[in-house]
Amino acid sequence: MKRIFATAIAVISVFSFSSCTQSPKTITLIAHDSFVMSDDLMGSFEETYKVDLKIVRAGDAGAMTNKLVLTKDAPIADVVFGIDNTFAPVAQKNDLIDGSLTPIDFADVCFNYDLEYFKSHQLPIPKNWRELTKKEYKGLTVIENPNTSSTGLAFLVSTYAGFPPMTAGVIPPTVNWWLALRDNGVKVAASWEDAYYTDFSGSSGKGKYPIVLSYSSSPADEVYENGTAKTKALLKDCFRQTEYVGVLKNATNPQGAKDLINFMLDSTFQAEMPSAMYVYPIDRQVALPPRWRIFAPAATSTIGENLDIDANREKWLGDYNWVFDIAP
């Protein structure tokens, strides 16, 4: 998922793709740009298994998966973190994983809104994302491009689950909704980072858009010093984004990759995930940070996860690109 301070990215070294040419005493992990592992946890893993852990960051989950497809005959890592359920079929179809993908965390893709903006403008809070086409929300929303952002793709899937199927000979209800959203002044950002940190008025960028496509957990990081919330999430009909880890086919150090996966599934690593990456640990027995119970509840309902994303990806993206006149 995409929820991390830029300074946190800088703390952990980024290694070039050539780092996978190594002895079995080194393990190379490829992950999306939002992956964080503390120095303490990294040191604990390296000390326990007597190995060096190297990390390659490869963009968004979609960009990372595409890199793995292009390099599958000469893999650039031993283990992957962060392929999500929108891209897992791509990994499976291209036979990238030795064995199966293992769920590691989840996050709910939901819209967030700036409480102060809505209060000062005396605007009603939308009940759900379908209402964002109403005239009172004109020019207030920023989303991510599903061609380049896994967050944007997750929401695109939700919209196809959120309306009845197409009737023959007419524009599908989902496409009509996207047309209405476009005409209501939505901004399409290339990435979650751009949308959240630059365009959203409720985060550090102090942009001009008080509604942003983000995560149900994001408000936990937008809290005033007096303990009151800056933002909230619309928790109805979100998309539950599950992230996976897996051993890459033809890995240099497959046993080390399995050791790292087991380490990540341990409660110690799982307990750090909410504060490090703003995701919910897959181990439901792990206690969440106290503020999460107040500011980061999971979605009340999710839709779209049961759709055949891989079979429909090209058609759905084609519809979207037609609406927004975007070249694929």
pLDDT of 88 higher than 50 = yes
Query: What CATH number does domain 108-239+300-324 carry, 3.40.190.10, 3.40.630.190, 3.40.50.300, 3.20.20.140?
Result: 3.40.190.10
Residues contacting 92, CB < 8 A, separation 6+: 101
pLDDT of 239 higher than 80 = yes
pLDDT of 165 higher than 80 = no
Rg for the chain, CA atoms, rounded: 20
pLDDT, tens digit, for every residue of 93-125?
A: 999 999 999 999 999 999 999 999 999 999 999
Hey, CA dihedral for 218, 220, 221, 227, is it positive or negative? positive
pLDDT at 227: 85
Mean model confidence pLDDT for the chain: 89
What does the alpha-carbon distance between residue 213 and residue 159 come to, in Å, rounded to a whole number? 13
Fold held by 6-106+242-287? D-Maltodextrin-Binding Protein; domain 2 (3.40.190)
pLDDT at 326: 81
pLDDT at 148: 81
Separate counts of helices (H) and strands (E) for the chain: 12, 10
6-106+242-287 matches 108-239+300-324 in fold: yes
pLDDT of 76 higher than 70 = yes
Which residue ranges make up each domain of the chain? 6-106+242-287, 108-239+300-324
Residue (of 189, 181, 184) closest to 152 by Cα position: 189
What does the alpha-carbon distance between residue 105 and residue 23 come to, in Å, rounded to a whole number? 30
- Where would I find the beta strands (DSSP E) of 250-307? 280-281
Q: Tokens 């005396």 label which residue?
A: 122
pLDDT band at 328 (very low <50, low <70, confident <90, very high): low
pLDDT, tens digit, for every residue of 261-314?
A: 999 999 999 999 998 888 999 999 998 988 888 999 999 999 999 999 989 999
Helix then strand then coil, in percent of the chain rounded to 5, is 40, 20, 40
pLDDT at 12: 36
pLDDT of 1 higher than 80 = no
Q: Which helix H or strand E contains 41, and what residues bound it?
A: helix 39-49
